A = this chain, B = another copy of it.
């Protein structure tokens, strides 16, 4: 489907370029009866807004979400929810070299190779602004999940080499620092590292962790649409993500079966696992433990140093990228990871309602059960 639609039952279609008139998303398949307002969406959008700290671009982006369809008297109606965000910063300006050369680490070259030409203004469709539609959809999904007792939370786990060990997580500190790290002391160290990056006209990568709690067991479709496989696609489809892990992830590749297996036990008739190396997923289905995933985010490719590259006419040249760019993408990508995870879980939760004939009887003919 040319890749702008994601999801089978809870299905989102995003559109828009960074310097076009607007950007938006259509959410199809949201169940009817969910209370939803523009404020629900705005609170998510505000988390990815630039200008929140010295480590995010100073561009002014007052992204205001407008719901154009799909709600009535404060509730979703079951029909598609169209959300639009007007682009404010559309003034035409001189794109200079950006227009005529390929920025290293960006999608300029690959867009030209695929389509024959590209909208060179600010990255066009490959701009980070593309994620606005995802975040708006994620806000709706997260609202729906909360109605079912499920929460999705992401945060920054590491920036460059500064990584918070799990045992030092302090979740209540996440909102206390501009890097969204669950430990203020590590956040301070990361800030110092980022300042040194900026001085060196350089940028940094990092990792984001996302936890999903309250999931019933059995969500995810065996074989190709496994919960972990679907999450992997969802999160890897975010521009700068280069790696994804579930539970112990790459560490499991170095582990032994005797320590990697999570023993089950029962207490008061409920099922638990003594450990959670699996990250809450077994055989591609949720196992009732918290779901844990981590994403590796590459350093911002836009740096102020001179870089070697080529022109669109295939001649060697150098380019220096000017303008306002985040030295690290991670803090603003936190809410994008959360959004994509929420949309994915929602879609699989909807798909799972028909896994048993009994569920159909409950809904369509309770008297026949």
Contact = CB atoms under 8 A, between A and B. Distances in A.
Nearest to A126: B283
A349 interface: yes
A203 B3 contact: no
A78 interface: yes
Contact of A79 (B17, B205, B230, B269): B17
B354 A29 contact: yes
Contacts of A266: 310, 314-316
Interface stretch (A47-55, A171-179, A256-264): A256-264
Contacts of A296: 245, 249-250, 252-253
Closest 4 CB pairs of A and B: A107-B283, A3-B221, A114-B218, A2-B29
Contacts of A282: 105-107, 109-110
23 contacts: A1-B8, A3-B226, A15-B80, A16-B80, A22-B68, A24-B82, A72-B119, A78-B355, A107-B285, A110-B217, A144-B357, A147-B357, A203-B258, A206-B253, A225-B237, A226-B236, A232-B233, A233-B233, A236-B246, A242-B253, A253-B296, A264-B308, A353-B353
Given A69-B20, A218-B113, A26 B31 contact: no
A124 interface: yes
Contacts of A6: 224
Nearest to A80: B15
Contacts of A158: 253-254
A143 to B, nearest CB: 10
Contacts of A144: 357
Interface stretch (A56-64, A182-190, A298-306): A298-306
A264 B226 contact: no
Contacts of A202: 256-258
A157 to B, nearest CB: 9
Nearest to A288: B113
List the number of copies, as a whole number: 4
B255 A223 contact: no
A349 B216 CA distance: 23
A203 B243 contact: no
Contact of A15 (B78, B82, B234): B82
A104 B28 contact: no
Nearest to A2: B29
Contacts of A237: 223-226, 229, 284
A7 B207 CA distance: 29
A105 B354 contact: no
A356 interface: yes
Nearest to A225: B3
Interface string A208-228: 000000001111111111101
A269 B310 CA distance: 11
